Amino acid sequence: MTRFLQQRLALAIPTILLTSVVVFLMLHLIPGDPASIYVGENQATPERLEAIREQMGLNRPLYVQYADYVWSAVRGDLGRSLQNDQPVTKIIRERLPNTFKLAAAAMVIAVILGVALGLLAALKHNTWLDTLSMSVALLGVSMPIFWLALLLILFFSVRLQWLPATSQPGLKGLILPAVSLAMLSAATLARLVRSSVLEVLRQDYLTTARAKGLPGRTVILRHAVRNALIPVITVIGLQFGSLLSGAVITETIFARPGLGKLVVDSIQNKDFPTVQGAILILATIYIVMNLLVVLSYALIDPRIRLG
C-alpha cells in the first residue's frame, strides 16, 4: 500500500506543478503586455507601465517569475486582486466554504436519488418503473443545469414562493442550488447503478446463492447490491469534480458568493490574479480528490493495487 501511495503521489505532484505552469502562463499568453493588464488600458502611461513592471517583477526572465509565483503560492500568497486590492488568498478563503457546502449538499442529493433510481430500474428491469427511472435519467443528462435552475426558480420561488431565488444563509437558500447542481450527477449515477446491478445479477454466484435457497431479499441486498456498488463508489468520488465545475454555473444563477462565481466575475472584470488563484485552487482540490478516490478504491479492492 505504501508503494502504491508513493506512486500515486509521484504522479499527482507533477500534475499540480504543470497545472500551475498553465495558470501562470495565462497572464503571459493574453495578447498585450501583462503590465498594461494590471494598470488597465486607459491609464497606461509609459512611466506607470515601467513602474508596474518593476514593482511586479515583470521584467525578470519568465522562469524566475514562475519560480517566484510558485514559491509565493506555496506560502499562501497568490497576489492581490486588481478589483479591490485584497489578497487573493483571503478572498478565496472567504468563498471556499460556500462552494464546499453547495457541492456537499448536491453530492448527498445526487447519491440518494441516483442510487435509488438506478436500483429501482435494475431490480424492476424491463417494467414501466425501469422505463420511468431511465427517462428521468435521460432528462437529467440532457437538461442544461442553468435551465433546470431557472425552471426551479420559476416554480418554487416565483409561483409557489416556497424557496428563495437567491442565496441566503441557512438551509433554505441551499435547497434549489443544490438540487439543480445534483441532477446531472444523479442521472449519471442512476444509469451507472442500473447497468452495474444488471451486470452483477447475471453472475454465476448469484445463481448459486439462489440455488442454495437463500431468500430473494438476502440475495439482492447482500450479494448483488454490495458488489454492484463498488464501481459506483469511484464514480461518486469523481463526480465531485463535475460538481465543483457545475458550481460555476449554479453559483452565478443563484448569486451565491462561492469560488465558481468568483471565477466568472473575475474573468469579466479582467481581474487576472484572482482568476489564476481561484482556478489553481479548484484544480488542486480536484487533483487531490481524485487521488483520494483512487486510494480509497485500492483500500476497498486489493486487486487495484496489484494491477
| Binding stretches for another protein (CB under 8 A) | 11, 14-16, 18-19, 22-23, 26, 29-30, 138-139, 141-147, 150-151, 153-154, 157-158, 165, 195, 241-242, 244-246, 248-249, 252-253, 263-264, 267-268, 272, 275, 279, 282-283, 286-287
In the bound state with another protein, the residue whose beta carbon lies nearer, of 206 and 264, is 264
Q: Exposed, middle or buried: residue 128 (CB in 10 Å: 0-12, 13-18, 19+)? A: exposed
In the bound state with another protein, the residue whose beta carbon lies nearer, of 102 and 165, is 165
Residue among 26, 82, 27 at smallest CA distance from 266: 82
Helix (H, G, I), strand (E, B) or coil at 32: coil
Q: How many CA atoms lie within 13 A of 52 on its CB side?
A: 16
In the bound state with another protein, the residue whose beta carbon lies nearer, of 219 and 276, is 276
> 81's torsion region: left (phi>0), alpha (psi -120 to 50) or beta?
beta
Rounded to a whole number of angstroms, the minimum distance from the CB of residue 113 to another protein is: 19
> Position of cell 453547495?
102
Rounded to a whole number of angstroms, the minimum distance from the CB of residue 211 to another protein is: 28
Distance CA 144, CA 156 (A): 18
In the bound state with another protein, the residue whose beta carbon lies nearer, of 219 and 237, is 237
- Cell digits of residue 48: 506607470
Rounded to a whole number of angstroms, the minimum distance from the CB of residue 209 to another protein is: 25
- Cell digits of residue 292: 483520494
In the bound state with another protein, the residue whose beta carbon lies nearer, of 44 and 214, is 44
Rounded to a whole number of angstroms, the minimum distance from the CB of residue 136 to another protein is: 13
Residue among 123, 300, 146, 82 at smallest CA distance from 220: 123
Encode 261-287: b = buried (16+ Cβ within 10 Å), e = exposed: bbbebbeeeebbbbbbbbbbbbbbbbb
Rounded to a whole number of angstroms, the minimum distance from the CB of residue 174 to another protein is: 19
Rounded to a whole number of angstroms, the minimum distance from the CB of residue 208 to another protein is: 25
In the bound state with another protein, the residue whose beta carbon lies nearer, of 201 and 209, is 201
